[in-house]
Amino acid sequence: MPKKDIWTLEKVREGFNLFFKECNRYPTSHEIDSFKFLPSSRQIQRRFGGLIETRQKLKLDCPEDFTKGIYSSERAGVINKRAHELEKEVYTYLSELFGKEFVHREFFFTDDRRTRSDFFVYCKNGNFLIDVFYPKDIYNLIGCLNSKMRTYSNKISEEYPMIFLMMNDNITEGEIEKVLKNKKNKLLKNQRVLTYKELKEFCSGKVPKGIKG
């Protein structure tokens, strides 16, 4: 990887092409920041005038601006629909296991209602939190985790086990483990990344509030 002061447009082109070879598409700004064969989007801004201008110079076959137009609205629609369906699936599973009255959706941590988890589950042997997400690939997984760690950095969210529920079946437990091992900023002690299968194993050791005795 070049040092930040020797990035050339040709080196950036090589990085874009390598990403395309691995993912069959070019990266968004967030993916550029987490891809080790490209400079950060801020460096691209300083050196080449920004991502839009750089994509124009490289004549990449992709939208010049991923944040506008049909691409952005279609992508947002797909993401929102998938998020709704995944949360519904997880809610159905949790409510059948623990009872609807013990599965709190959209649990807010602060009075300004900015920080929330998707679910707060009440159990006899320890309540826990779940944040559901679907990274499209490993690079997106890293970005998602960094964002979630910033979101759940307040003291209130540290009081309970926090599960980052990764719902992409194409990303393996081994790949997740490798990402976590290589991350410089480690998860907090109360935070875990689980697949849906691992969540079910975790829940098998929990005792629902509604069970007497």
Q: Which domain holds residue 181?
A: 77-203
Asked if residue 67 is part of any domain, the answer here is no
Give this prediction's pTM.
0.64
- Work out the angle at residue 169's Cα, subtended by the Cα atoms of residues 168 and 173, and round it to the nearest 5 degrees: 95
| 3-class state of residue 192 by DSSP | strand
127 lies in the same domain as 81: yes
106 lies in the same domain as 52: no
Asked if residue 44 is part of any domain, the answer here is yes
Taking Cα atoms as reference points, which of 105, 128, 97, 120 lies closest to residue 192? Answer: 128
CA atoms within 13 A on the CB side of 120: 12
The Cα 39–Cα 35 span in angstroms is 8
The residues, any chain, with a CB within 8 Å of residue 23's CB and separated by 6 or more, are 137, 139
Asked if residue 160 is part of any domain, the answer here is yes
**Residue corresponding to tokens 């490209």:** 38
pLDDT in tens, the chain (213 residues): 555 457 899 999 898 888 877 777 787 776 787 677 888 888 888 888 888 888 888 887 665 455 555 444 455 455 557 777 889 999 999 999 999 999 998 776 655 555 678 899 999 999 999 999 988 888 888 888 888 888 787 666 678 899 999 999 999 999 999 999 988 889 988 999 999 999 999 999 999 987 665
The Cα 119–Cα 111 span in angstroms is 17
The Cα 157–Cα 140 span in angstroms is 23
Count of domains for the chain = 2
